[in-house]
Amino acid sequence: MNFRLKLPDSAPSLQAAGPALAGLPAARAVLGVALALAIFGVFILASGRDPLDALQGAWRGVIGSPFGLSEVGVTMIPLVLTALATAIPARAGLVNVGGEGQLHTGALAATGIVLYFHVGAPALMLPLMALAGCAGGGLWAAAAALLRRWRGVNEVISTLLANYIAILLVNMLVFGPWKNPDGLGYPYTIPFDAAAILPAIAGTRFHWGALAPVLALIVCYVILTRTVWGFKMRAVGGNPEAARRRGIAVDRYAAAAMIAGGALAGLAGMVEVAGIHHDLRPGISANLGYLGLLASWLAGHNLLVIIPACFLMAVFLVTGDVLQLTAGLPSAAGMALIGLVLFLVLGLRRLERRPL
């Protein structure tokens, strides 16, 4: 994967990118997805199953089912936030691969509010948890920003390694001091009170945490395209030396972008524990931090394209679960399909950029 980021020279190019997926015309993006489905069909055929029947059954179970659509929505909520956690630092020329760890630290901080803070007004519990989640993820990302500024440590390495530390920290707590004494030995915290749970919608697992990625996307878009701060941050990502010569505090803007991305991933962790699990446990993420990274690259770090990119990935993830039930395929089928889509769509983008 090429980690060299090149940003557009002006804000209007960001606004005009809506019809494209990951910097490609819509037709090329559709071609990449179609080719991925065709290759995936060959794999299904090689396993002794009818690919058309399998894919039609997956369509009915995902798009044609209210339950399937609700599961797509549930998957998209943290996926959009972790994609933004990559896209915002990318605007400043940074590569944040630490969404997984930042999600875990956000979930840990939000759980700490539930366990140790008894709020007099129950209506304040969820806002406090959200603030704690953002703080946890932001502080975890700040460590990588500080290492980059003071010691020259590449943020790709530091954020990647920090993922494992965050996951082990959560495991240490849920297997140790935060373990529910009445949980029959299972590594979970005590269940959250009703005030710390995001209400479900229409009896499904889809919950009001869906407002978080919507608001985050709007706020990030407005800041990046309508404020001086956003303009300077894009200038830092486009040409840091030129930005420095014009008096822009390059290191400060880069650190702010990294911390903002970590805060969004931390908010995703809060949403997961408050909206889905209602406690803290191992494996709360299901690799959503890494998948958000891939979604952001699929969208070309374009905020306007993150929603369709995340929707596509969420559909394929749920498709993998449906194929496991209806066609007997392994649950990893959805991840394999996502890998094919990324390979082909990004490959077509590379061909498009190659001079004739």
Lowest-confidence region among 99-103, 264-268, 341-345: 341-345
Q: How far is CA 189 from CA 50, 99, 176, 251, 289, in A?
A: 44, 23, 10, 39, 22
Q: Is the CB of residue 144 less than 8 Å from the CB of residue 158?
A: yes
Query: Rounded to whole angstroms, how far apart are CA atoms 184 and 180?
Result: 8
Lowest-confidence region among 24-38, 93-107, 327-341: 24-38
Of 236 and 103, which is predicted with more confidence?
A: 103
Query: Rounded to whole angstroms, how far apart are CA atoms 337 and 346?
Result: 14
> Is residue 46 within a helix (H) or strand (E), and if so which, with residue range?
helix 26-46
- Those residues whose C-beta lies under 8 Å from the C-beta of residue 128, and which sit 6 or more positions away, are 113, 117, 119
Q: Is the pTM of this model over 0.75?
A: yes
Flag whether pLDDT at 12 surpasses 70.
no
Query: Rounded to whole angstroms, how far apart are CA atoms 301 and 2?
Result: 14
Q: Tens digit of pLDDT for each residue in 137-185?
A: 999 999 999 999 888 899 999 999 999 999 999 999 999 999 999 888 8
Query: Rounded to whole angstroms, how far apart are CA atoms 70 and 120?
Result: 33
DSSP conformational letter for 194: G
- Those residues whose C-beta lies under 8 Å from the C-beta of residue 276, and which sit 6 or more positions away, are 74, 205, 207
DSSP conformational letter for 19: T
pLDDT at residue 352 in the model: 59
Residue in the structure block whose two tokens are 């996951």: 167
Q: Tens digit of pLDDT for each residue in 201-225?
A: 988 899 999 999 999 999 999 999 9
One of 3.30.160, 1.20.950, 1.10.3470, 3.30.420 is the CATH number of 71-319, namely 1.10.3470
Phi, then psi, of 49 in degrees rounded to 5: -120, 160
Flag whether pLDDT at 242 surpasses 80.
yes
Q: Coil, strand, or helix at residue 200?
A: strand
Query: Rounded to whole angstroms, how far apart are CA atoms 131 and 219?
Result: 16
Mean pLDDT over 65-81 rounds to 93
